[in-house]
Amino acid sequence: MKSPLKWAALALALLLIPVLIVAVFVDGDKDNPSFAQGKLATGTVPPEYEAWVIRAGTMCEEISAPLIAAQIEQESNWNPNAVSPAGAQGLSQFMPYTWPSYGVDANGNGVISPFDPPDAIMAQAKFDCTTVEQAKKDLASGRIKGDLIDIVLNAYNCGYGCVLANGGPQIVNGETEGYAPGVKAKMAKYTQIGTGGGRVANCSQFRPGGGFGANVAAAALCWQGTPYAWGGGNIDGPSLGIRDGGVADSHGDYGKVGFDCSGLVVYAVGQASGKTIQLPHYTTSILNDPRGREVALGDIQPGDIVFPGGGDPQHVGIAIGDGKMVEAPQSGDVVKISPLSNLGSGIEIRRFG
Amino acid sequence: MTPKFSWTASAAVLAGAALVVAGCSSGGSDHEQTTTPPASTTSFVTPTETTSRVPATPPSTPLTAPAALPAEIGPVDQASVDAVAAAVARIWYGWDTTRDLTQHDAKLRAVPLLEPRLAQLLRDYPPIAGPGADWLDLTARSAVLTVPADGVRPGVEAGAPADTATSAVRLLEVTQKVNTPTGPMPDRHLVVGIALVKVGAEWRVSQVGSR
């Protein structure tokens, strides 16, 4: 009598222990509401690493599983044996002299190695979360300024000393400033649909899952009054413009975040598409992007992307109806509504939804 | 007797706990993820041959930078905004993955045409992580990327701040030619914003940003 009971209980336990483990890991994959990061989309990372990526996303509230996954893609494209010419190792590309500070025997196999994927993934999370804690203190004291996640990512690329030396994530060495946007852009494909928020969610006209064109227009209109910043704007919102030391700086371009004309379009189309359409940040490239459909002037609708005629446009805006567009016009100006006629005659129109 | 009883009871308690916690965790959550729990026996392989070309020691900073421009760039009219911007673009995006450890090495070659603050930043803060998956792939192919003189063209997008006597910006379309020992790969096209400032009588680049 006891034996069947014992085996039944044991079988039930064995059946449910994995459920317990997974449930703990998954439930810890927090919403990260303050940073609008979502949950890991199932099947987007190599299956042998999925549980570890989810677990890494539970280490601290600010670092999500999709962020961890996007970083790994950026660093090694999921190659656990990667070694860079400078000696960076494994999935997360730790330098040998950095590894001892963050390496952990995550899977308890008695070895701590950057080539052991669980160790690498958890060490990466440890680095990110350690940086979060330090950055929070330095942000609070005013030692540095800027977006917390940008700080973390740029510290991963350039070092925390580099962040401190620049007063925040505004690092302009030609590489680091591209690292955070590059990682963030990769997050979309790792994020479970509907779990990633975003600043556009605060925009009353924007309706998640609503009409594509209406949402393109709404996303851009939400940022009326935001400064023009040359080189500014990406799929997540306004970003730091390029410093010029002269006119643009005197207009406030330097040290402020904003959009230039194509940056605003990258953002609006990206948001309306749930970040599935990441346009190039350049007018000519947007005009010629194969995902855009040519539209006749008589068929123009809100959310269509509008260019001056001639085939090699110097500007781009977003139609909002009634013969108007929303645009980021030029240095010293702000995102605003303007007459479509400002583009001249023979305008070109593209629709991405 | 006692051990048997404990074993059964323990299993039952464990099962119950699993049920309770799993139930709690699904409450109020839309999670539908299923994962394989981490195994303590995960195996991995340490590469027996490393492609690292340098000792595993922290770099000594500030890094040294060349005093002269690469010969293939030729003479540069440093009183010309356009000439300086184009030269820096050619050097910055000219990568020899058989020789360079990271893209950072190419940037250091541009130091003679950079604003002192940017030059110092590059020398003081080399990357602490890897150069990224793209660079690893190029390195595996022994790729050499060059930007020929006609590979730099003015960009057309308007709206940029106007030039002054001491500052300027240039938007450039840059084409990288990619060659490998097994033949050329497709060209790469970049759009690059470059900011310049006047230092004495000559122009220097203060920022480079690829879009």
Element housing B202 (H / E)? strand B202-210
B67 in contact with chain A, both atoms CB, cutoff 8 A: no
Using the 8-state DSSP alphabet, how is residue A246 labeled?
A: S
pLDDT value of position B94 = 97
pLDDT value of position A13 = 45
pLDDT value of position B145 = 98
Q: Residue A241: which pLDDT band, with cuts at 50, 70 and 90?
A: confident
SS (H, E, C) B107-173: HHHCHHHECHHHHHHHHHCCCCECCCHHHHHHHHCCCEEECCHHHEEECCCCCCCCCCCCEEEEEEE
**Mean pLDDT of chain A, nearest integer:** 83
- B58 pLDDT higher than 70: yes
Tell me the pTM. Answer: 0.74
Across the interface, of A19, A48, A74, the residue whose CB is closest to B22 is A19
Contact A50 B118 (CB under 8 A): no
Contact B128 A95 (CB under 8 A): yes
- A287 pLDDT higher than 90: yes
- The chain B residue lying nearest A31, using CA atoms, is B29
Which tens digit of pLDDT belongs to each residue from B27-36?
Answer: 333 333 445 5
Mean pLDDT of B40-53: 66
Q: CA A185, CA A296: separation in Å to the nearest integer?
A: 31
pLDDT value of position B123 = 93
Q: Residue B129: which pLDDT band, with cuts at 50, 70 and 90?
A: confident
For residue B28 the two structure tokens come to: 């109020």
pLDDT value of position A39 = 84
- A119 pLDDT higher than 70: yes
- Cα A135 to the chain's mean position, in Å? 19
Report the SS3 class of residue A61. coil
Contact B11 A13 (CB under 8 A): yes
pLDDT value of position A21 = 37
Contact A10 B8 (CB under 8 A): yes
Contact B42 A109 (CB under 8 A): yes
Largest distance between two CA atoms of chain B: 95
Which tens digit of pLDDT belongs to each residue from A26-75?
Answer: 333 333 323 346 789 888 999 999 999 999 999 999 999 999 999 999 99
**Mean pLDDT of chain B, nearest integer:** 81
Using the 8-state DSSP alphabet, how is residue A325 labeled?
A: E
Question: Do the Cβ atoms of A305 and A350 come closer than 8 Å?
Answer: yes
pLDDT value of position A235 = 86
Q: Residue A11: which pLDDT band, with cuts at 50, 70 and 90?
A: low
- The chain B residue lying nearest A330, using CA atoms, is B159
Which range (A128-137, B35-44, B113-122, B153-162) has the least confidence? B35-44
